[in-house]
Amino acid sequence: MKKISIALILVLISFSTALNAQSKIKAIKTGRLIDVVTGKILENQIILIDSNRITNIGSNITIPSGAEIIDLSKATVLPGLIDCHTHLTLSLGENYYDDLFRKTATDYAIEATVNAKKTLEAGFTMVRDAGADQLIDVSLRNAINNGTVPGPRMLVTTFPLGSTGGHTDLTGFNPNLDFKGNKDFTGVADGIDEIRKRVRNNVKWGADWIKFMASGGVLSEEETPGLPQYSFEEMKAICDEAHLWGKKAFAHAHGTEAIKMAIKAGVSSIDHGSLIDTEGIALMKQYGVYLVADIYNDDYILSEYAKKGYPEKILNKERMVGKLQRENFQKAVNAGVKIAFGTDAGVYPHGWNGKQFFYMVKYGLTPMQAIQAATINAATLLSWDTQTGSISTGKLADMIAVQDNPLDNIRALENVSFVMKEGKIYKK
Protein backbone atom coordinates (compact mmCIF):
# COMPACT_ATOMS: atom_id res chain seq x y z
CA MET A 1 0.00 0.00 0.00
CA LYS A 2 2.81 2.33 0.86
CA LYS A 3 4.46 1.82 -2.56
CA ILE A 4 1.13 2.38 -4.34
CA SER A 5 0.53 5.56 -2.33
CA ILE A 6 3.97 6.93 -3.17
CA ALA A 7 3.49 6.10 -6.85
CA LEU A 8 0.08 7.76 -6.82
CA ILE A 9 1.53 10.86 -5.21
CA LEU A 10 4.27 11.03 -7.86
CA VAL A 11 1.67 10.74 -10.64
CA LEU A 12 -0.43 13.51 -9.08
CA ILE A 13 2.60 15.76 -8.72
CA SER A 14 3.56 15.13 -12.34
CA PHE A 15 -0.02 15.84 -13.50
CA SER A 16 -0.18 19.01 -11.41
CA THR A 17 3.14 20.22 -12.82
CA ALA A 18 2.00 19.59 -16.38
CA LEU A 19 -1.33 21.34 -15.69
CA ASN A 20 0.43 24.37 -14.22
CA ALA A 21 2.79 24.52 -17.19
CA GLN A 22 -0.14 24.25 -19.56
CA SER A 23 -2.06 26.98 -17.76
CA LYS A 24 0.70 29.44 -18.62
CA ILE A 25 -0.36 29.25 -22.25
CA LYS A 26 -2.74 32.01 -23.36
CA ALA A 27 -4.44 32.36 -26.72
CA ILE A 28 -5.76 35.77 -27.75
CA LYS A 29 -8.36 35.86 -30.50
CA THR A 30 -8.22 39.24 -32.23
CA GLY A 31 -10.69 40.94 -34.51
CA ARG A 32 -8.09 43.34 -35.89
CA LEU A 33 -4.37 43.33 -35.11
CA ILE A 34 -2.22 46.35 -35.92
CA ASP A 35 1.15 45.25 -37.28
CA VAL A 36 3.27 48.33 -36.62
CA VAL A 37 6.27 46.87 -38.45
CA THR A 38 4.51 46.58 -41.83
CA GLY A 39 1.95 49.29 -41.16
CA LYS A 40 -0.93 46.94 -41.91
CA ILE A 41 -4.03 45.66 -40.14
CA LEU A 42 -4.36 41.88 -39.94
CA GLU A 43 -7.81 40.33 -39.55
CA ASN A 44 -8.82 37.48 -37.22
CA GLN A 45 -5.40 36.62 -35.86
CA ILE A 46 -4.59 34.33 -32.95
CA ILE A 47 -1.70 35.23 -30.64
CA LEU A 48 -0.19 32.45 -28.52
CA ILE A 49 1.63 33.42 -25.33
CA ASP A 50 3.76 31.17 -23.14
CA SER A 51 4.39 32.78 -19.77
CA ASN A 52 5.53 36.31 -20.67
CA ARG A 53 6.44 35.96 -24.37
CA ILE A 54 4.66 35.66 -27.70
CA THR A 55 5.29 32.24 -29.26
CA ASN A 56 3.16 32.32 -32.40
CA ILE A 57 0.85 34.56 -34.43
CA GLY A 58 -1.40 33.66 -37.32
CA SER A 59 -4.89 33.05 -38.62
CA ASN A 60 -4.69 29.25 -38.80
CA ILE A 61 -3.07 28.36 -35.50
CA THR A 62 -4.15 25.38 -33.42
CA ILE A 63 -4.84 26.50 -29.87
CA PRO A 64 -3.24 24.06 -27.40
CA SER A 65 -5.63 22.08 -25.21
CA GLY A 66 -6.09 23.74 -21.84
CA ALA A 67 -4.86 27.14 -22.94
CA GLU A 68 -6.58 30.20 -21.47
CA ILE A 69 -8.56 31.81 -24.29
CA ILE A 70 -8.95 35.57 -24.31
CA ASP A 71 -11.63 36.69 -26.74
CA LEU A 72 -10.85 40.08 -28.28
CA SER A 73 -12.51 39.21 -31.57
CA LYS A 74 -14.59 42.39 -31.53
CA ALA A 75 -11.65 44.66 -30.69
CA THR A 76 -8.48 46.09 -32.21
CA VAL A 77 -5.30 44.73 -30.65
CA LEU A 78 -2.01 46.60 -30.83
CA PRO A 79 1.32 46.63 -28.98
CA GLY A 80 1.55 48.09 -25.50
CA LEU A 81 2.15 51.83 -25.80
CA ILE A 82 5.39 53.54 -24.79
CA ASP A 83 5.70 57.11 -23.47
CA CYS A 84 9.27 58.41 -23.73
CA HIS A 85 8.77 61.44 -21.47
CA THR A 86 6.83 61.02 -18.24
CA HIS A 87 7.13 62.18 -14.65
CA LEU A 88 5.42 59.43 -12.67
CA THR A 89 6.77 60.86 -9.41
CA LEU A 90 5.28 64.27 -10.12
CA SER A 91 1.67 65.17 -9.39
CA LEU A 92 1.03 68.84 -9.88
CA GLY A 93 -1.69 69.55 -7.37
CA GLU A 94 -4.16 72.34 -6.89
CA ASN A 95 -1.68 75.00 -5.78
CA TYR A 96 1.77 75.90 -7.14
CA TYR A 97 3.20 77.02 -3.79
CA ASP A 98 1.78 74.07 -1.87
CA ASP A 99 3.58 71.75 -4.29
CA LEU A 100 6.84 73.61 -3.69
CA PHE A 101 6.70 74.20 0.04
CA ARG A 102 4.39 71.67 1.66
CA LYS A 103 4.81 68.33 -0.09
CA THR A 104 7.62 66.03 0.97
CA ALA A 105 9.38 63.23 -0.88
CA THR A 106 7.11 60.83 1.01
CA ASP A 107 4.02 62.52 -0.44
CA TYR A 108 5.37 62.21 -3.96
CA ALA A 109 6.44 58.59 -3.42
CA ILE A 110 2.94 57.59 -2.32
CA GLU A 111 1.31 59.46 -5.20
CA ALA A 112 3.78 57.87 -7.64
CA THR A 113 2.34 54.40 -7.05
CA VAL A 114 -1.12 55.69 -7.99
CA ASN A 115 0.28 57.47 -11.04
CA ALA A 116 2.02 54.30 -12.21
CA LYS A 117 -1.19 52.27 -12.01
CA LYS A 118 -3.16 54.93 -13.92
CA THR A 119 -0.52 55.01 -16.64
CA LEU A 120 -0.49 51.24 -17.06
CA GLU A 121 -4.29 51.05 -17.17
CA ALA A 122 -4.26 53.76 -19.86
CA GLY A 123 -2.39 51.28 -22.06
CA PHE A 124 1.21 52.39 -21.52
CA THR A 125 3.27 49.33 -20.69
CA MET A 126 6.62 51.14 -20.77
CA VAL A 127 7.89 54.66 -20.06
CA ARG A 128 11.10 56.62 -19.98
CA ASP A 129 10.71 58.72 -16.85
CA ALA A 130 12.36 62.10 -17.23
CA GLY A 131 13.66 62.88 -13.75
CA ALA A 132 12.76 62.81 -10.08
CA ASP A 133 13.98 64.04 -6.72
CA GLN A 134 15.22 61.79 -3.92
CA LEU A 135 15.58 58.76 -6.25
CA ILE A 136 11.85 58.11 -6.01
CA ASP A 137 11.91 56.99 -9.64
CA VAL A 138 14.50 54.29 -8.88
CA SER A 139 12.44 52.97 -5.97
CA LEU A 140 9.25 53.02 -8.07
CA ARG A 141 10.96 51.22 -10.97
CA ASN A 142 12.29 48.56 -8.63
CA ALA A 143 8.92 48.10 -6.91
CA ILE A 144 7.22 47.63 -10.30
CA ASN A 145 9.90 45.17 -11.42
CA ASN A 146 9.48 43.21 -8.19
CA GLY A 147 5.71 43.08 -8.60
CA THR A 148 5.11 45.13 -5.44
CA VAL A 149 3.03 47.73 -7.27
CA PRO A 150 1.45 47.66 -10.74
CA GLY A 151 2.90 50.00 -13.31
CA PRO A 152 4.63 50.31 -16.66
CA ARG A 153 8.17 49.12 -17.22
CA MET A 154 10.31 52.14 -16.32
CA LEU A 155 13.61 53.47 -17.59
CA VAL A 156 14.66 56.20 -15.17
CA THR A 157 16.97 59.21 -15.23
CA THR A 158 17.26 60.12 -11.51
CA PHE A 159 18.46 63.76 -11.29
CA PRO A 160 18.30 65.76 -14.54
CA LEU A 161 21.50 67.74 -14.99
CA GLY A 162 21.27 71.51 -15.26
CA SER A 163 23.26 74.66 -14.63
CA THR A 164 23.13 76.89 -11.58
CA GLY A 165 20.14 79.21 -11.99
CA GLY A 166 18.72 77.03 -14.74
CA HIS A 167 15.64 74.86 -15.17
CA THR A 168 16.69 72.29 -12.54
CA ASP A 169 17.64 74.94 -9.99
CA LEU A 170 14.96 76.61 -7.89
CA THR A 171 15.11 80.30 -8.72
CA GLY A 172 13.20 83.43 -7.86
CA PHE A 173 13.01 82.81 -4.10
CA ASN A 174 14.77 84.05 -0.98
CA PRO A 175 18.41 82.87 -1.22
CA ASN A 176 18.29 81.80 2.43
CA LEU A 177 15.83 79.05 1.55
CA ASP A 178 17.72 75.77 1.12
CA PHE A 179 15.89 72.87 -0.51
CA LYS A 180 18.87 70.71 -1.41
CA GLY A 181 20.30 69.39 1.85
CA ASN A 182 23.03 67.07 0.60
CA LYS A 183 24.73 69.15 -2.10
CA ASP A 184 25.82 66.00 -3.95
CA PHE A 185 22.22 64.76 -4.10
CA THR A 186 21.20 67.01 -6.98
CA GLY A 187 21.55 67.45 -10.72
CA VAL A 188 22.77 71.04 -10.54
CA ALA A 189 26.28 71.07 -12.00
CA ASP A 190 28.61 73.54 -13.69
CA GLY A 191 31.81 72.89 -15.60
CA ILE A 192 33.08 69.71 -17.19
CA ASP A 193 34.57 68.06 -14.10
CA GLU A 194 31.49 68.64 -11.94
CA ILE A 195 29.21 67.51 -14.76
CA ARG A 196 31.11 64.26 -15.24
CA LYS A 197 30.84 63.58 -11.51
CA ARG A 198 27.07 64.16 -11.62
CA VAL A 199 26.71 61.70 -14.50
CA ARG A 200 28.71 59.14 -12.55
CA ASN A 201 26.57 59.70 -9.46
CA ASN A 202 23.39 59.19 -11.47
CA VAL A 203 24.74 55.95 -12.91
CA LYS A 204 25.80 54.82 -9.43
CA TRP A 205 22.32 55.50 -8.08
CA GLY A 206 20.60 53.53 -10.84
CA ALA A 207 19.94 55.81 -13.83
CA ASP A 208 19.07 54.05 -17.10
CA TRP A 209 19.34 57.28 -19.11
CA ILE A 210 21.04 60.64 -18.57
CA LYS A 211 18.91 63.73 -19.05
CA PHE A 212 20.12 67.31 -19.12
CA MET A 213 18.63 70.75 -19.57
CA ALA A 214 20.12 72.13 -22.77
CA SER A 215 17.88 75.21 -22.60
CA GLY A 216 15.58 76.91 -20.15
CA GLY A 217 12.11 75.59 -19.45
CA VAL A 218 8.54 76.72 -19.08
CA LEU A 219 7.30 75.55 -15.68
CA SER A 220 10.03 77.19 -13.62
CA GLU A 221 10.66 80.80 -12.70
CA GLU A 222 13.92 81.23 -14.60
CA GLU A 223 13.23 83.43 -17.58
CA THR A 224 15.14 82.02 -20.56
CA PRO A 225 13.21 79.11 -22.12
CA GLY A 226 14.80 79.74 -25.51
CA LEU A 227 18.43 80.22 -24.50
CA PRO A 228 21.13 77.57 -23.96
CA GLN A 229 21.94 76.88 -20.31
CA TYR A 230 25.06 74.84 -20.97
CA SER A 231 28.01 75.42 -23.29
CA PHE A 232 28.62 72.97 -26.12
CA GLU A 233 31.64 71.61 -24.24
CA GLU A 234 29.50 70.93 -21.17
CA MET A 235 26.80 69.20 -23.24
CA LYS A 236 29.42 67.06 -24.96
CA ALA A 237 30.93 66.10 -21.61
CA ILE A 238 27.50 64.87 -20.47
CA CYS A 239 26.99 62.76 -23.59
CA ASP A 240 30.54 61.44 -23.65
CA GLU A 241 30.46 60.44 -19.98
CA ALA A 242 27.06 58.79 -20.41
CA HIS A 243 28.37 56.78 -23.36
CA LEU A 244 31.42 55.69 -21.35
CA TRP A 245 29.03 54.04 -18.90
CA GLY A 246 26.94 52.43 -21.62
CA LYS A 247 24.10 54.95 -21.28
CA LYS A 248 22.38 57.27 -23.73
CA ALA A 249 21.62 60.93 -23.12
CA PHE A 250 18.65 63.07 -24.04
CA ALA A 251 18.10 66.79 -23.84
CA HIS A 252 15.27 68.94 -22.58
CA ALA A 253 15.58 71.61 -25.26
CA HIS A 254 13.13 74.32 -26.26
CA GLY A 255 15.55 76.83 -27.76
CA THR A 256 16.81 76.89 -31.33
CA GLU A 257 20.55 77.03 -30.64
CA ALA A 258 20.35 74.70 -27.65
CA ILE A 259 18.71 72.05 -29.85
CA LYS A 260 21.52 72.25 -32.42
CA MET A 261 24.23 72.16 -29.75
CA ALA A 262 22.68 69.11 -28.06
CA ILE A 263 22.37 67.23 -31.37
CA LYS A 264 26.04 67.83 -32.20
CA ALA A 265 27.01 66.90 -28.63
CA GLY A 266 25.60 63.39 -29.07
CA VAL A 267 22.06 63.11 -27.68
CA SER A 268 19.70 60.36 -28.80
CA SER A 269 16.57 62.50 -28.55
CA ILE A 270 15.51 66.11 -28.32
CA ASP A 271 12.57 66.45 -25.95
CA HIS A 272 10.13 69.35 -26.46
CA GLY A 273 11.95 70.84 -29.48
CA SER A 274 9.67 73.85 -29.43
CA LEU A 275 11.73 76.43 -31.33
CA ILE A 276 13.56 74.13 -33.75
CA ASP A 277 14.37 75.71 -37.11
CA THR A 278 15.16 74.37 -40.59
CA GLU A 279 18.83 73.87 -39.77
CA GLY A 280 17.96 72.03 -36.58
CA ILE A 281 15.58 69.75 -38.45
CA ALA A 282 18.32 68.96 -40.99
CA LEU A 283 20.73 68.16 -38.16
CA MET A 284 18.22 65.81 -36.53
CA LYS A 285 17.94 63.91 -39.80
CA GLN A 286 21.70 63.90 -40.33
CA TYR A 287 22.45 62.55 -36.84
CA GLY A 288 19.42 60.25 -36.63
CA VAL A 289 18.11 61.99 -33.50
CA TYR A 290 14.49 61.46 -32.43
CA LEU A 291 12.07 64.27 -31.66
CA VAL A 292 9.97 63.69 -28.54
CA ALA A 293 7.49 66.57 -28.51
CA ASP A 294 4.78 67.01 -25.85
CA ILE A 295 2.24 68.74 -28.08
CA TYR A 296 -0.90 68.02 -26.07
CA ASN A 297 -0.25 69.67 -22.72
CA ASP A 298 -0.27 73.30 -23.94
CA ASP A 299 -4.08 73.14 -23.85
CA TYR A 300 -4.13 71.86 -20.29
CA ILE A 301 -1.57 74.35 -18.97
CA LEU A 302 -3.33 77.38 -20.43
CA SER A 303 -6.71 76.12 -19.26
CA GLU A 304 -5.84 75.07 -15.71
CA TYR A 305 -2.58 76.53 -14.42
CA ALA A 306 -3.83 80.00 -13.58
CA LYS A 307 -6.34 78.31 -11.25
CA LYS A 308 -3.44 76.52 -9.56
CA GLY A 309 -1.74 79.82 -8.73
CA TYR A 310 1.09 79.58 -11.23
CA PRO A 311 2.87 82.93 -11.72
CA GLU A 312 1.96 84.93 -14.81
CA LYS A 313 5.56 84.76 -16.06
CA ILE A 314 5.22 80.98 -16.38
CA LEU A 315 1.91 81.24 -18.21
CA ASN A 316 3.39 83.84 -20.58
CA LYS A 317 6.24 81.46 -21.41
CA GLU A 318 3.71 78.76 -22.28
CA ARG A 319 1.77 81.17 -24.48
CA MET A 320 4.97 81.97 -26.33
CA VAL A 321 6.23 78.40 -26.69
CA GLY A 322 3.14 76.21 -27.10
CA LYS A 323 1.85 77.41 -30.47
CA LEU A 324 5.33 77.46 -32.01
CA GLN A 325 6.04 73.96 -30.74
CA ARG A 326 3.07 72.56 -32.64
CA GLU A 327 3.93 74.43 -35.83
CA ASN A 328 7.55 73.26 -35.69
CA PHE A 329 6.49 69.70 -34.90
CA GLN A 330 4.55 69.72 -38.17
CA LYS A 331 7.60 71.00 -40.05
CA ALA A 332 9.75 68.24 -38.54
CA VAL A 333 7.16 65.61 -39.48
CA ASN A 334 6.96 66.88 -43.05
CA ALA A 335 10.75 66.81 -43.29
CA GLY A 336 10.91 63.17 -42.20
CA VAL A 337 12.46 63.55 -38.73
CA LYS A 338 12.16 60.40 -36.61
CA ILE A 339 9.34 60.84 -34.08
CA ALA A 340 8.89 59.05 -30.76
CA PHE A 341 5.90 59.53 -28.47
CA GLY A 342 6.40 61.56 -25.28
CA THR A 343 3.90 63.61 -23.31
CA ASP A 344 5.46 65.16 -20.17
CA ALA A 345 2.81 63.33 -18.12
CA GLY A 346 2.64 64.83 -14.66
CA VAL A 347 2.26 68.28 -16.16
CA TYR A 348 -1.31 67.12 -16.83
CA PRO A 349 -3.15 64.32 -14.94
CA HIS A 350 -1.60 60.86 -15.20
CA GLY A 351 -3.52 58.41 -17.32
CA TRP A 352 -4.37 61.03 -19.94
CA ASN A 353 -1.32 60.14 -22.07
CA GLY A 354 -3.50 58.88 -24.92
CA LYS A 355 -4.93 62.36 -25.51
CA GLN A 356 -1.76 63.32 -27.36
CA PHE A 357 -2.45 60.98 -30.32
CA PHE A 358 -5.16 63.32 -31.61
CA TYR A 359 -2.72 66.24 -31.68
CA MET A 360 0.02 64.24 -33.37
CA VAL A 361 -2.42 63.41 -36.17
CA LYS A 362 -3.74 66.97 -36.28
CA TYR A 363 -0.20 68.27 -36.75
CA GLY A 364 0.99 66.00 -39.50
CA LEU A 365 1.25 62.30 -38.66
CA THR A 366 -1.05 59.67 -40.09
CA PRO A 367 -2.85 57.56 -37.46
CA MET A 368 -0.51 54.64 -38.23
CA GLN A 369 2.56 56.87 -37.86
CA ALA A 370 1.28 58.18 -34.53
CA ILE A 371 0.81 54.60 -33.30
CA GLN A 372 4.27 53.65 -34.59
CA ALA A 373 5.72 56.64 -32.71
CA ALA A 374 4.36 55.14 -29.47
CA THR A 375 5.34 51.55 -30.25
CA ILE A 376 8.15 50.44 -32.56
CA ASN A 377 9.76 53.91 -32.87
CA ALA A 378 9.76 54.47 -29.13
CA ALA A 379 11.11 50.97 -28.50
CA THR A 380 13.90 51.57 -31.01
CA LEU A 381 14.85 54.88 -29.39
CA LEU A 382 14.98 53.15 -26.01
CA SER A 383 17.00 50.19 -27.41
CA TRP A 384 14.19 47.82 -26.44
CA ASP A 385 12.96 46.99 -29.94
CA THR A 386 14.15 43.37 -29.70
CA GLN A 387 11.95 42.95 -26.62
CA THR A 388 8.84 45.06 -27.17
CA GLY A 389 7.28 47.67 -29.46
CA SER A 390 5.51 45.26 -31.80
CA ILE A 391 3.41 42.10 -31.54
CA SER A 392 6.04 39.72 -32.85
CA THR A 393 7.08 36.16 -32.11
CA GLY A 394 9.69 36.05 -29.37
CA LYS A 395 8.91 39.47 -27.93
CA LEU A 396 7.40 40.24 -24.54
CA ALA A 397 3.62 39.92 -24.47
CA ASP A 398 2.93 43.66 -24.10
CA MET A 399 -0.36 44.49 -25.78
CA ILE A 400 -3.56 46.46 -25.46
CA ALA A 401 -7.00 46.50 -27.06
CA VAL A 402 -9.52 49.19 -27.93
CA GLN A 403 -13.06 48.74 -29.16
CA ASP A 404 -12.87 50.98 -32.23
CA ASN A 405 -10.31 51.00 -35.02
CA PRO A 406 -7.80 53.77 -34.12
CA LEU A 407 -6.82 54.12 -37.77
CA ASP A 408 -10.34 55.42 -38.35
CA ASN A 409 -10.71 57.17 -34.99
CA ILE A 410 -7.40 57.95 -33.28
CA ARG A 411 -9.26 59.03 -30.13
CA ALA A 412 -10.04 55.36 -29.56
CA LEU A 413 -6.63 55.22 -27.87
CA GLU A 414 -7.97 57.46 -25.12
CA ASN A 415 -10.19 54.56 -23.96
CA VAL A 416 -8.14 51.39 -23.67
CA SER A 417 -10.25 48.40 -22.61
CA PHE A 418 -7.60 45.68 -22.25
CA VAL A 419 -4.01 45.84 -20.99
CA MET A 420 -1.47 43.03 -20.85
CA LYS A 421 2.13 43.50 -19.78
CA GLU A 422 4.56 40.60 -20.04
CA GLY A 423 1.68 38.13 -20.36
CA LYS A 424 -0.15 39.35 -17.24
CA ILE A 425 -3.55 40.99 -17.64
CA TYR A 426 -3.94 44.28 -15.78
CA LYS A 427 -7.20 45.47 -17.30
CA LYS A 428 -10.01 43.72 -19.11
174 vs 349, which has greater pLDDT?
349
What pLDDT score was predicted for residue 93? Answer: 64
For residue 180, the model assigns a pLDDT of 58
Query: What pLDDT shows up at residue 122?
Result: 98
The three-class DSSP label of residue 221 is coil
Mean pLDDT on 122-149: 96
Residue 16 has pLDDT above 50, yes or no: no
Which pLDDT band, with edges at 50, 70 and 90, does 167 fall under?
confident
CA 383-388-390 angle, 5° bins: 115
Q: So where are the chain's domains?
A: 25-80+390-427, 81-381
pLDDT of residue 219: 66
Read off φ and ψ for residue 343, nearest 5 degrees.
-120, -15
What's the N-to-C CA distance of the chain in angstroms? 49
The architecture CATH gives domain 25-80+390-427: Roll (2.30)
| pLDDT tens column, 195-220 | 999 999 999 999 999 999 999 877 66
CATH number for region 81-381: 3.20.20.140
- Average of per-residue pLDDT across 222-246: 91
The residue ranking higher by pLDDT, 250 or 170, is: 250
Over the chain, what is the mean pLDDT? Answer: 90
pLDDT exceeds cutoff 70 at 174: no
Evaluate if residue 263 carries a pLDDT over 70.
yes
Tens of pLDDT, residues 236-248: 999 999 999 999 9
* Residue 124 reports pLDDT greater than 60: yes
Q: Which of 377, 265, 281 is nearest to 273 (CA)?
A: 281
At residue 184, does pLDDT exceed 80? Answer: no
> Is the pLDDT score of 294 beyond 90?
yes
Confidence of residue 301 (pLDDT cuts 50, 70, 90): confident
pLDDT of residue 21: 43
pLDDT at position 18, please?
A: 45
Percentage of the chain lying above the pLDDT 90 cut? 74
pLDDT digits (tens, 9 = 90+) for 61-115: 999 999 999 999 999 999 999 999 999 998 776 676 777 777 888 988 999 999 9
Quick one: how far is CA 123 from the chain centroid? 12
The answer to which of 180-184, 319-323, 331-335 has the lowest mean pLDDT is: 180-184
Statement: residue 2 has pLDDT above 70: no
Burial letters 218-238, b for 16+ CB under 10 A, else e? bbbbbebbbebbbebebbbbb
What confidence score (pLDDT) does residue 172 get? 62
Residue with the larger pLDDT of the pair 175 and 61: 61
Between 178 and 102, whose confidence is greater? 102
Residue 23 has pLDDT above 60, yes or no: no
| pLDDT (0 to 100) of residue 35 | 98
Percent of the chain surpassing pLDDT 70: 88
User: pTM of the prediction?
Assistant: 0.91
Tens-place pLDDT, residues 358-397: 999 999 999 999 999 999 999 999 999 999 999 999 999 9
pLDDT class of 221 with cuts at 50, 70, 90: low
Task: Report CA 216 to chain centroid distance, whole Å.
Answer: 21
Report d(CA 286, CA 115) in Å as an integer. 37
Q: Is the confidence at residue 325, as pLDDT, over 70? A: yes
357 pLDDT higher than 80: yes
The residues with which 72 forms a beta bridge, in sequence order, are 30
Give helix then strand counts, H and E, for the chain: 13, 15
More confident: 241 or 317: 241
Helices (H), 36-147: 96-101, 105-121, 136-145
